[in-house]
Structure 1
Amino acid sequence: MKKFILLAIASILTNLVSAQRVEVTPTFGYTFSGTVKGYYGTYDVQNAMLYGAKLDVEFIDLTYFELSYRRNDPTLEYITSSQIHKEANTGTAHYMAGVLRELNNGTFRPYGVINLGLTRYWDKGDSDFRKWFFSTEFAIGTKIFITDNLGFRFQASVTTPWDFDGGGIYWGIGGGSSANLTFGVPIAHWDLSGGIIISLPD
């Protein structure tokens, strides 16, 4: 998958020379994750603010190659069946590449996105936990341009990490005299985001 990302970057950079339009969009928003009930208790990946950026390069009319990066820092909370709470500070990042298709080229430009890429999870505490997953992203949104080179972008998306070994995000939470516990979370990340589009001159 890393090779796929590198090939996608190379393809976009090649198309920059002949691109009809190039857009850079810093983004900011909010991620809704979820709660999963396990055998020993409940695991809650809490909602969190997100930030990132997108690069879009038009290669045919209304169709763009897109590269995107976004990150958030959710708290992972584990609640045992006896209502004991444990928490871990974590990080989540998505590295995606794909295609954005606009419906028209007016002031308001609704669009859809299909992306593939990698999702990375890590523990920001004492453990050295790191895990990568292949991920897919589907999104809809709209662009609103106030000039030819400046506008706003609003998007709703869902990103799903895939574990082909059967499971999800494996994390360990320990403490006290209890043994460490691991769990799998088949979880989707639902994002609402917005940003300012800066379109480079043709």
Structure 2
Amino acid sequence: MFKIIKLTLLLFLAITVRTQAQHIEIIPQSNYTFGGKIHGRYGELKIQGSESYGISLDIVNKKTSFQIEYFYQPTTGNYRDYFNPDLNNQRSDLRISWYHVGVRQRFGTNEKVVPFAGASLGLTNFNLDSSPSRYNETALSFGLQTGTNIYLSDILGLRFHGRLNFPVQFNGFGFYAGTGGSGASASASAYFIQADLGAGLIFRLAN
């Protein structure tokens, strides 16, 4: 699955850069991603807020930019069982990785200060290390974002942004923490929302 996604992203990048880009922006970023809860049939997994890190590649064409974005959140998950209190407060390492492509609309006429808003679609991978067992799940996800680019020169700038991220699943989803044999499982829906705030350093390259 990830090989197909990577090949699709590379093809998307090659075609867009060649045919549309006025310039390209590479944006490493640091964020704070707020926590959330996955509510399941038997319990819930509470995701702790933590720092996250990522990189965005924006292909800019006049008032529109196409983006390829990855960011990673190392955090913990606390499991609470609805029916068995002995299984509560199980704490496990949780790593969340987001792989998205999207479109941003750029606003304003000031070339130095450029607000933007956009949407993205991709995959989110959840890796829960509840030793001695581990759980790895990949879900379809989409996101909404807004922010502002502030250009300090022709090649350097700053980005400030906020995002809402929505993992979505269609074929069932489950988390199992500890050795109790119970866990959280969710039906097909958007089962939780994560928000983050962050800043990045823009490196702008001419096409």
Which residue matches 1:91? 95
Contact 1:33–1:187 under 8 Å retained in 2: no
Contact 1:150–1:197 under 8 Å retained in 2: yes
Letter in 2 for 1:94: W
Which residue matches 1:53? 55
Letter in 1 for 2:166: T
Matches within 5 A, 1:4-43: 6-18=7-19, 19-35=21-37, 42-43=44-45
Letter in 2 for 1:192: L
Q: 5+ residue gaps in structure 2?
A: none
Which residue matches 1:134? 140
Distance (Å, rounded) in 2 between the aligned partners of 1:140 and 1:36: 25
Contact 2:75–2:94 under 8 Å retained in 1: yes
Q: What's the secondary structure of 1:147's corresponding residue?
A: coil
Matches within 5 A, 1:30-179: 30-35=32-37, 42-58=44-60, 60-80=61-81, 82=85, 84-104=88-108, 105-124=110-129, 125-165=131-171, 169-175=173-179, 178-179=180-181
Residue correspondences, number: 197
Over 3 Å counting, the alpha-carbon distance change for 1:42 and 1:140 in structure 2 is: same
Q: What's the secondary structure of 1:9's corresponding residue?
A: helix
In the TM superposition, residue 113 of structure 1 has moved relative to its aligned partner by 1.6
Distance (Å, rounded) in 2 between the aligned partners of 1:85 and 1:128: 17
Over 3 Å counting, the alpha-carbon distance change for 1:171 and 1:196 in structure 2 is: same
Distance (Å, rounded) in 2 between the aligned partners of 1:179 and 1:4: 33
Over 3 Å counting, the alpha-carbon distance change for 1:38 and 1:163 in structure 2 is: closer
Distance (Å, rounded) in 2 between the aligned partners of 1:12 and 1:37: 37
Q: What fraction of aligned residue pairs are identical, expressed as a percent?
A: 26
Q: 5+ residue gaps in structure 1?
A: none
Over 3 Å counting, the alpha-carbon distance change for 1:139 and 1:5 in structure 2 is: farther
TM-score (structure 1 length as normaliser): 0.86
CA deviation vs aligned residue, 1:146-165 (integer Å, no higher than 9, x gap): 11111100111111111123
Q: What's the secondary structure of 1:12's corresponding residue?
A: helix
TM-score (structure 2 length as normaliser): 0.84
CA deviation vs aligned residue, 1:126-155 (integer Å, no higher than 9, x gap): 424211111111100000111111110011
Q: What's the secondary structure of 1:148's corresponding residue?
A: coil
Is it true that 1:199 corresponds to 2:204 in the alignment?
yes
Distance (Å, rounded) in 2 between the aligned partners of 1:17 and 1:179: 53
